[in-house]
Amino acid sequence: MAVGFDTVCFNVLEEIRKTEDIKIIACIPCENQDYNFSFAQKKEYNRMLLSSDEKIYLGKEYTKACMLKRNRYLVDNSSVLVVYSRKETGGTVYTKNYALKKGVPIIEI
């Protein structure tokens, strides 16, 4: 989970879960992911963790590669990738290209 689009998606999934039988699985790149979050971000992050049906931690400590590892895990374990990107470089674009290589369908918002 991350601040921004991940949070928006999580909130949408919570609304869907009210009427549909879905599970929300939090894919967390490292145990201390919220280390540099603001107080408000930490509060929302912890609320989302409590609301999650399952939590998957991919590492102990933050590293330069932990978000990349998380993004690959998401693609490798998804039937579709929902993407929102405003630029032509960065982690989202890398993840989109990885999904294309793996044959995972992409929905761009």
Closest residue by Cα to residue 58 from 39, 36, 33: 33
Quote the CA–CA distance of 90 and 44 in Å, as a whole number.
Answer: 25
Strands (E), the chain: 25-28, 54-57, 81-83, 106-108
Kind and range of the H or E run holding 98: helix 91-102
pTM of the shown model: 0.85
The 10s digit of each residue's pLDDT in 21-75 is: 999 999 999 999 999 999 999 999 999 999 999 999 999 999 989 999 999 999 9
